[in-house]
Structures are given as structure tokens and as C-alpha cells.
């Protein structure tokens, strides 16, 4: 069939045959089906506006409008299927690609994203996000971790300790994500594990976004004294998001164990072999 699918014993991921974008996840162990669209977007960094002269910079994330721009409506895809791995390679643009992977026995979908060098020839600073959109009714709530330990409940446009007058509808809802961010409707839970600290949020019900790379053109006036702008063509960054879909009641087992494996992942050391014995005799 034209439907692009990768699947192992526990998980099935489906991709739109025309656009090549991820459109559906199914947890085969618990028969949980969730339409989920994943794509890359970028916020146009603010250089100050009539509401505030505040610029987006190293200390301050401030997009110049609420809606990010879609990196591309479609991705050129290539599929690799072997006994040990199934992969969909997605090419969104010259500076954004991703490999979606499934290994046998794995209960999470691995999204290895590669972003950069971010072009700024158009005079716009860019703040790139990976966004997952679902129909989960999350009632304005989402959850982020604190240094991989405590999970904190976040509520859009709200602070538990003071009456918030939200002046930044995007940045004011971004929180630090050290290892995971998740949303749930009480039955299903969609969790995204990160391999490094990122900014993250859920700006609409059922949506999760994580910021993966930034390249800005102005200093934000908070003390650095220069823009977040690497020299030359700029750096490109590669990282991984691990996506888990589970029943809300048992999701913690999955993401806690996987997150430990991610944080303390095995180290590989090579050697030509045939070395001399270490101990005499």
C-alpha cells in the first residue's frame, strides 16, 4: 500500500504517503491509536515592537508573532527496512532533516533530528521547534520534569503562586525541559524524552513543542553584549527525541526506565584487538 509504515512488536508509526510526515502512532500492546502529526517550525525572532522593545536573544526568547512558520509542508522521504532497524529518512529543507527509527523490541519511536546551519540571510533570527499535534483533550495542562526527577504540572497562561497577567502568549508559556515533556487526556499519554535540556511547551490542547536550535541577530540587552549568532555559517545540531504512547496509568514506568537508559546510555570503545595479556602469566 502507499501508506508508509514502520512497525515492531510494540509500536506502529504511519506517515502520510504524500507529505512524508508522521501522522499516526499505535501502541500495539494496549491497542492505543493516536493520530499525531510531527513537523518542524520556526519562530521569527522579535527585534522589538510597539508593545515592547525587548529583543529575542540569549537570555530572552521572544518571537515576533504567535504563530511559527512551517519548515515545509512535506518531506522527501526514503525508507530503510532491515531485520534490525526500520527507518524513515525525512528531508524537510537544506537545513532540517530527521530520521524516524524503530528497533526490534523497542517501545519508543526514535526521532533523530538534524537542524542547521540556520540561514539568516533574510535578516530574520530563527528559533526552530519540533511540534507534535494531537486531538488529546488536555484542558490547558502539560507536564515537564525538573532535572529528571520531579514532574511539574504546567497550566497555560497561569502561575500557581501569583496572579499572572500574561503578556507573552508564547514565551510566557515556555518552560525548561531537562529530560521529558508529556500531555495526557487521562486515558492516553504522549511523552517526549529529550537527550539534552530544551525549552518546551504546549500552546494548544493536544500539542507539544520543543525548541531544538536558535540563531539570532540582535543582543537582548541583558548583559551578554552580543547576539546568539555563531560565527561563519553557524552550527548545525543533531539530537534525538524519543516518543512514547501509553496508557496514562502506566506511562511512568515506560518513560522513567527509558529516560534512565537515555541519560546513562552505554559508552562504546573500540580497539584493533589481539592485545598482549595485562597480567603476567
Partner 1 sequence: SGDSTSLNEAMAVLQHHDAVSGTSQQHVADDYARQLAAGWGPCEVLLSNALSRLSGSKEEFTFCRNLNISVCPLSQTAESFQVTIYNPLGRKVDWMVRLPVSQHVFLVKDPSGTVVPSDVVTMPSSDMQELLFSASVPALGFSIYSVTQVPGRSPQAHTSQPGSQKPS
Residue 60: which of 120, 124, 127 has the closest Cα? 127
Decide the pairing of beta strands 96-102 and 22-27. Answer: unpaired
CA angle 121, 127, 129 (to 5 degrees): 130
Where in 66-95 is the site for partner 1 (CB under 8 A)?
A: 73-85, 87-89, 91
232 binds partner 1 (CB under 8 A): no
Residue from the set 65, 139, 204, 261 that interacts with partner 1 by CB under 8 A: 261
Consecutive H or E run containing 81: strand 76-81
Contact window for partner 1 (CB under 8 A) among 34-42, 151-159, 202-210, 217-225: 217-225
Residue from the set 224, 233, 250, 253 that interacts with partner 1 by CB under 8 A: 224
Contact window for partner 1 (CB under 8 A) among 11-19, 26-34, 36-44, 124-132: 11-19
Cα separation, 66 vs 61, in Å, equals 12
Residue from the set 11, 14, 15, 26 that interacts with partner 1 by CB under 8 A: 15
- Output the DSSP codes for 208-242: EEEEEEEE-SS--SSS--S-S--STT---EEEEEE
Nearer to partner 1, 47 or 106 (CB): 106
Cα separation, 13 vs 101, in Å, equals 9
Cα separation, 38 vs 136, in Å, equals 14
Nearer to partner 1, 51 or 264 (CB): 264
CB of 43 to partner 1, least distance (A): 17
Residue with grid cell 534512565, as numbered in its chain: 260
Nearer to partner 1, 20 or 63 (CB): 20
Contacts to partner 1 by CB under 8 A: 4, 15-20, 58-59, 73-85, 87-89, 91, 103-105, 197, 222-226, 228-231, 238, 260-261, 264-273, 275-279
Amino acid at each position: 500500500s502507499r501508506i508508509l509504515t514502520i512497525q515492531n512488536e510494540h509500536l506502529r508509526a504511519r506517515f502520510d504517503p504524500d507529505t512524508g510526515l508522521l501522522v499516526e502512532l499505535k501502541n500495539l500492546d494496549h491497542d492505543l491509536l493516536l493520530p499525531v502529526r510531527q513537523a518542524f517550525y520556526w519562530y521569527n525572532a522579535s527585534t522589538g515592537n510597539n508593545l515592547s522593545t525587548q529583543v529575542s536573544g540569549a537570555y530572552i526568547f521572544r518571537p515576533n508573532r504567535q504563530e511559527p512558520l512551517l519548515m515545509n509542508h512535506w518531506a522527501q522521504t526514503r525508507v530503510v527496512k532491515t531485520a534490525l532497524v526500520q527507518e524513515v529518512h525525512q528531508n524537510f529543507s537544506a537545513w532540517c532533516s530527521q530520521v524516524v527509527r524503530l528497533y526490534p523490541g523497542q517501545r519508543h519511536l526514535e526521532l533523530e533530528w538534524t537542524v542547521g546551519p540556520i540561514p539568516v540571510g533574510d535578516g530574520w533570527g530563527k528559533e526552530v521547534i519540533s511540534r507534535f499535534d494531537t486531538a488529546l483533550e488536555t484542558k490547558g495542562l502539560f507536564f515537564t520534569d525538573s532535572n529528571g526527577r520531579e514532574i511539574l504540572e504546567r497550566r497555560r497562561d497561569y502561575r500557581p503562586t501569583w496572579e499572572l497577567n500574561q503578556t507573552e502568549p508564547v514565551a510566557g508559556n515556555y518552560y525548561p525541559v531537562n529530560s521529558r515533556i508529556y500531555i495526557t487526556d487521562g486515558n492516553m499519554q504522549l511523552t517526549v524524552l529529550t537527550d539534552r535540556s530544551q525549552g518546551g511547551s504546549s500552546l494548544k490542547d493536544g500539542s507539544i513543542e520543543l525548541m531544538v536550535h536558535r540563531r539570532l541577530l540582535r543582543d537582548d540587552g541583558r548583559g551578554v553584549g552580543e547576539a546568539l549568532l555563531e560565527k561563519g555559517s553557524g552550527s548545525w545540531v543533531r539530537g534525538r527525541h524519543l516518543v512514547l504512547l501509553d496508557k496514562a496509568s502506566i506511562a511512568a514506568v515506560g518513560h522513567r526506565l527509558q529516560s534512565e537508559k537515555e541519560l546513562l546510555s552505554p559508552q562504546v570503545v573500540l580497539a584493533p584487538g589481539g592485545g598482549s595479556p595485562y597480567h603476567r602469566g
